Structure 1
Amino acid sequence: MTTLTFQIEGLSCAGCVARAEKALGGAAGVQAAQVNLADETARVDVDGALQDVVGALQKAGYPAREQGVVLDVAQMTCAGCVRRVEQALANGPGVLSAEVNFASETATVRYLEGAITPEDLAALSAKAGYPAQLPQAEGATADRKADEVAQLRRDVCIAAVLALPVFVVEMGAHLFPPFHHWLMAHFSMSAVHMAQWALTTILLAGPGRQFYLKGFPALFRGAPEMNSLVAIGTGAAYVFSVVSTFAPGWLPTGTANVYFEAAAVIVVLILVGRWMEARAKGRTGEAIRQLMQLQPPVARVERHGGVQEVPIAQVVVGDVLHLRPGERVAVDGHVLDGHSYVDESMMSGEPTPVAKSATDAVVGGTINGQGSLRYRAEKVGADTILSQIIALVRDTQGAKLPVQARVDRITAVFVPVVIGIAALTFFVWLMVGPQPAFGHSVVAAVAVLIIACPCAMGLATPTSIMVGTGRAAQLGVLFRKGEALQGAQACRVVAFDKTGTLTKGLPSLTDFHVTPGHFADEVLRLAASAEQGSEHPLARALVQAAETRGMALAECTAFEAHVGFGVSGTVQGQRVMVGAQRFMAAEKLDASHLHAQAAALAEQGKTPIFVAVDRGVVAVVAVSDPVKPSAKATIKALQARGLSVAMISGDARQTAKALAAQLGVDHVVAEVMPAGKVDAIETLRTRFGPVAFVGDGINDAPALAAADVGVAIGTGTDVAIEAADVVLMSGDVRGVVTAYDLSQRVMRNIGQNLFWAFGYNVALIPVAAGVLVPLGGPALSPMFGAGAMALSSVFVLSNALRLRRVQPALAEEKEV
């Protein structure tokens, strides 16, 4: 039974309290519940899952307040450590979820506000043996990692100096008999062993003590991990050698051999592996650091009648900032005066600088050209686009993909199983091994313990995610959800919205056919007046055409937007309707006399729009939206990768088919209402399999959410971006190919890492146990096992770091 006190929302009266208490009382596992209106808290005695409590409150309309925190966790060395930290945090009162990322050495925790504090969470991790602290600044984290690398380098150097004489004396004597004879002629065997003992003891008590300080406590807690394997293995070799040196009579005759060199060299090799691993880990977060460096540390702000340099953190909304040539824009805002060209390639991927003058928007982190600008701050701190990008990348890097769940289940039992195999190996060799059996048993058991390092398993997935998503951000592709990184490569069909996605979203009026007795200019003025209240791109085309001709638009009353059909309103006493042919049909207006012209326009890939005045259809006009230059190349690239490409459009079927033929689209779904896009996606999913949908408008949000992977054009609406799984920072649809390509590469990279990590253990644990010896095969020395173990982690990290070299898919087709 756990008693929790946490904050809830929505309480306004005693009735709310009663309803909240009733909802809590009905939740599974709740024994007692009390709600306090004054401090808006709930006190609950519960022995069930917290999710049931949270769900009951949510359903009742009084949701529990949730908080999230990211902790920096130290001293994790393998996948077993990750599991133990997650368990320690998850068992905290009020904790809803806890995910630990081995590669970034962070823990992401969601908890009920008021039930526990971030400091308490850090203490839980520390109690489990893994010190944790609240997030540091990026620079401080980098400094900490640099200090860790430096400390490991010092440990390696000291350990190597101590181990080298031990290794040379012992192995040199075996490999080069004259050296053994010289050694025995000048020193007694007892003196040699004493010297080895002294050097090895200093090594294990100095650079190697970390394995014992962490490994044995974890073992005694019943939660052994990688340090435990090393501690048991090297400890067994050391203790056996000490007994052989100082009390050989305690051992069976002929078994008093020393293995100081095994214990010493194993520690050196594992430290070398950790040193290389720490260096590689530092490079996995390079993308975040590069993004952080895009923001200047200071800004020039108008204060107290002058211009002052102030720290970026002190800039507030409304400040007026000055931007000199060559400087980076400090925060997001709008230009007040001045003229310049700004390099926005970090956002759009386009190398051509963009002209900026009064009223134009500027984005923090972009680079000013030769001119000077004054601009007003509108978004600062965490609200800037750059900060949001960094937050998205960091969140995705900390995500766990579905494939990681299987890895976690295996690593949860891996170390105990290895210890069991080592014990079995020891007793089998003791019973059936050649003499001296005891010595062979110790060596084989130690080899099993040392070879079976779960480090590579723990690193296999998170390092690839970190490097892959970081590189994606540098290429203008933001994976907002970790699942999308795995899901994108599984999609079999990519469906594009037409307007603003495959086309530029800047349609223009191209044709105007009026019925006899009506004047084109007057009909255009009426249609544009009716459309001026609409935000639809086709409406803007009509308004722009009228304004270009110098027409004065009249006021439109009783305006009504008919979603997916058109608009209607009253202009100067006349009822005007503007929209698609289906709008005319729905309103029972006869447009048959213009069908031929409409069909001809549609066959040219233009969008026909009908205009009715006082219930008479008087004109059909055509609007054409230019295709994006990269659209056709994108579709071909996707098809070359085995994907089907569909286009979903509200246009007339003939118009949509004409554009599809021009672009080479495989499947066309036309005359689709906004609500019908979800049904279209379901149909495509049934026919082909998982669907990725690419869109940019408000009406695309339901489809983006319904698709297996929703891809939003970053230049589109905020609603569409929030509903998407992947965001393309520029309006260039080539980013879709890059997203798919990166997803494939990351998942292939993870597969390679897991194959190596698991295959390595499956292959070498039996060899270390000595199963090949009866067949005439080799036995594996613990020293070689330690080297192979270190190599496995280095291989996984190096393989993941290859993803940093991935180029945009359409710019570089070769495998990296």
Structure 2
Amino acid sequence: MSSTVKDLQKETFPVTGMTCAACASSVETILQYTEGVKKAQVNLAAETVNVEFDSNVSPESLNDALSAVGYGLILSAEPLEKSLADKKRKEYSKIKNRTIGAGIFTLPVFILGMFFMNWEPGKWISMILSLPVLFYFGSSFFSVAWKQAKIGKANMDTLVALGSGIAFLFSSFNTIFPEFWLERGLEPHVYFEASTIIIFFISIGKLLEARAKTKTGFAIQKLLELQPKKVSRINVDGNTEEIDLNEVAVKDTLLIRPGDKIPVDGSITNGESYVDESMISGEPIPVSKTLESKVYAGTINQDGSFRMIAEKVGADTLLSQIIKRVHEAQGSKAEIQKLTDKIAGIFVPIVLLISILTFFAWFVIAQENAFSFGLLSAISVLVIACPCALGLATPTAIMVGVGKGAEENILIKDADSLEIGSKIDTVILDKTGTITQGKPNVSSVIFSENFGGNSKDQSKWFSYLFALESNSKHPLANAIAKFSHTSENQNLKVSDFKNYTGFGIMGKIEETVYRIGSQKWITESEIQIPTNLINESEKLSSRGETVVWFANDKEVISIISISDPIKGSSKSAIEKMQNLGLEVIILSGDQENTTTRVAEETGIRKFKAGMLPQDKANYIKSLQSNGKKVAMIGDGINDSEALATADLSIAMGHGADIAIDSAMVTLTTSDLTKVVETLNLSKLTMSGIKQNLFWASVFNLIGIPIAAGVLFPLSGILLNPMVASAAMAMSSVSVVTNSLRLKGKSLN
């Protein structure tokens, strides 16, 4: 009987053993040809595979199919994010231990090979110490090379395994059977240091990559924890009961108390409050919620209490959809094929072919000792082509670039980030917390003519403001209290204090009632409002500032304007971006007036306001479809989908964990100038990598023919493996030296 849609299961599993795009392709192919599997799609960035399979197919059988060729699935009852986090931690610990172990054994081998090369016992010691470096600490290079060979491909692991393996085998032969060469008048040199050093240095690169991977996934797990584990539900009898979050069903009535995290999406049926929705909009000022207002999972209730009806639960909530889209955006990015892997795919078979041709050519050229000369020349070709310089070209430049970035408060997740950063032509900026400070501050206080005549009067009213607002927990109240704090009259007593959610606060000082709140509330309270303050309020509101009114029981004393100030470095940083030829755009969840003001003050000509998380991501996709390379800079949960969608994502270090997790680069300061430095660092690092690859390739183009013996018929010069090894070492030194030049360069 054929399977129907209802018979199909869809599950996502963490995958073990994947290291490159070829591995991902193999996993997909194996699973798709497994009986009962309808579709398999690998997300290499997340190291997972999404599988659609018949209900009669067990996950264990899928794992068995992959295990046969060296891969595997993690089958765990734990949530996917936790399984991935555990997997990455274990992988990092394993690679770290192997890198340290390789370094410990490589150091004495290097010393013996470079400074005691003629000491006979040193050769045996080096051979013994090299064994664990290659076949235990470096075993992964050989296993990956074997996997690549089985599917007819080669990458850097192939070069590492081939170069280190042949150098070790040749050196071991010369150590055990030195008479083979001595009888032919040749010196039996050994190259154990060459075989171990390449394993150690490439392992360092692998360790840096693994370290970056351990940091991904944790923030999404933290985002899930924004939802409470327990929920207060109103049952049919009208009583409150505590239930688990996963028990909440659509149309349940829930009680939300002050300070509670809202568990699911829904609408308010009774009560009112302010809700912190910064995770959705990115805006720091809580939103007033009244009857029938929409509320969302993961947002935080402030000082009011209300009842809500559940409308979307589980995977249907906005919070769950954000997480899902972040995963999809990360997985949809094409894996950047490393330039070194491309070179290796051509280089390895060519070197092997040259080595074989060299061996047989000597039987035609040489009159005597053809076998000896042929074997030595063939080995010299392989040794001089040992991929140390080629293998170090990328990781050394990356290590220096990443280190340089860290010194400049720029944390770079991986090599891809630097490569993409060098190609960026469009920069998208979130407004709140990126261009602006991300928190409300009092920008001005304008007094009525009857109350603010002199500084003494103003000081008095500031002390009244402080006394009243110190009783409120609203973010705007905190901003006013901080601004109005003075050394005078700080012991004022406030009585009959009341908080009117959605309107303002009221309290009595020295038998006079004072109000602080919205213009509407002041007007409805029949308090006299001076015309000049109405005009000033309209001007401030048109600029996107929030206006708060302060009045006694008869007339308005002052208005307080509150805004999110632009950071001191934002304007100059944006000018630098534009001078580099970058198009700079603001995408903000805030209102049009506020966004317009920020754009005008920073010199940005293109902006969009009122953008939801998915709107930002869709806008970036539209730019990419027109061939733009887009960098997104943000700091909030609402930016995470856009960050994951962009070609290059940069998060401010003070931002939300999910933004940092979605980003390829994290700035540990809130200075936008660091964005310019990040892009310059990318260009400098990529330039260094290309220079390294060029010189490593040129070295091989010159060195391999000489090692093969092309100079012998003309001059009698034959490059023995010892000289070839030294030449190979010099090429590696030149690559490292060139990479280190980056440390002294300016990023401004």
What is the TM-score when the length of structure 1 is the normalising length? 0.50
Q: List aligned pairs for 1:119-518, cutoff 5 A.
A: 136=97, 145-146=103-104, 148-161=106-119, 205-208=124-127, 225-230=162-167, 242=179, 246=183, 257-260=184-187, 263-264=188-189, 267=190, 271=193, 402=335, 405-408=338-341, 410-411=343-344, 414-415=347-348, 417-432=350-365, 440-480=373-413, 483-510=416-443
Residue type matched to 2:420 in 1?
Answer: G
Cα offset for 1:640?
4.1
1:711 to 639, 650, 660: 650
Which amino acid letter does the alignment assign opposite residue 607 of structure 1? Answer: E
The amino acid across from 1:755 in the alignment is: F
Deviation at 1:453, TM superposition (A): 0.3
Summarize deviations over 1:491-518 as a string: whole Å, max 9, x none.
21222223322222344344578999xx
Match of 1:91 among 54, 64, 70: 70
Q: How does 1:552-591 map to 2 (within 5 A)?
A: 554-557=498-501, 559=502
How much has 1:243 moved relative to structure 2?
5.6
Please state how far the C-alpha of 1:259 moved relative to its aligned partner: 1.9
Q: Distance in 2 between matches of 1:694 and 1:511?
A: 29
TM-aligned CA deviation for residue 91 of structure 1:
0.2
RMSD (CA atoms): 6.3
Give a deviation string over 1:261-318, Cα, whole Å, max 9, x none. Answer: xx32xx26x63796699699889999999xxxxxxxxxxxxxxxxxxxxxxxxxxxxx
CA 1:422–1:697 in 2, change beyond 3 Å: closer, same or farther? closer
Is the alpha carbon distance of 1:661 and 1:19 closer, same or farther for their aligned partners in structure 2, counting shifts above 3 Å? closer
Distance 1:800 1:272 in 2: 20
Change (3 A) 1:94 1:750: same
SS in 2 for 1:159: coil
Higher mean C-alpha deviation, range 507-516 or range 785-794: 507-516
1:739 pairs with 2:678: yes
Q: In 2, distance between residues paired with 1:59 and 1:653?
A: 51
Look up the equivalent residue of 1:735 and give its one-letter code: K
For residues 497-551 of structure 1, what are the alpha-carbon distances to aligned partners after superposition, in whole Å with 9 as ceiling and x for unaligned?
23322222344344578999xx999xx99xx99x97865xx78656867999989
* Secondary structure of the structure 2 residue equivalent to 1:629: coil
Match of 1:695 among 613, 630, 634: 634
* 3-state secondary structure, aligned to 1:490: coil
Aligned length: 532
**Given the superposition, is the C-alpha separation of residues 737 and 452 from structure 1 closer, same or farther in structure 2, using an over 3 Å criterion?**
same
Structure-2 residue corresponding to 1:752: 691
Change (3 A) 1:490 1:579: farther
Matched residue, 1:763: 702
**In structure 1, which of residues 630, 635, 658 is the aligned counterpart of residue 574 of structure 2?**
635
**1:410 Cα deviation after fit:** 4.8
Q: Which amino acid aligns with 2:377?
A: A
Question: 1:55 is matched with which residue?
Answer: 50
Uncovered stretches (5+) of structure 1, i.e. residues with no partner: 1-16, 33-44, 66-86, 97-109, 123-131, 163-201, 247-256, 290-399, 560-567, 581-592
Q: Which amino acid aligns with 2:50?
A: G
Partner of 2:265: none
TM superposition shift of 1:631 = 1.9
**In 2, distance between residues paired with 1:724 and 1:53?**
19
Distance 2:703 2:358 in 1: 14
Unaligned runs of 5+ in 2: 1-5, 14-30, 61-65, 76-81, 150-157, 212-332, 453-457, 508-515, 521-531
Alpha-carbon separation, structure 2, partners of 1:288 and 1:94: 19
Q: Distance in 2 between matches of 1:22 and 1:281?
A: 33
Percent of aligned pairs sharing the same letter: 28
* Change beyond 3 A, Cα 1:579–1:803: farther
Deviations 1:1-38 (A, max 9, x none): xxxxxxxxxxxxxxxx99869999xx845558xxxxxx
* TM-score (ref. length: structure 2): 0.54
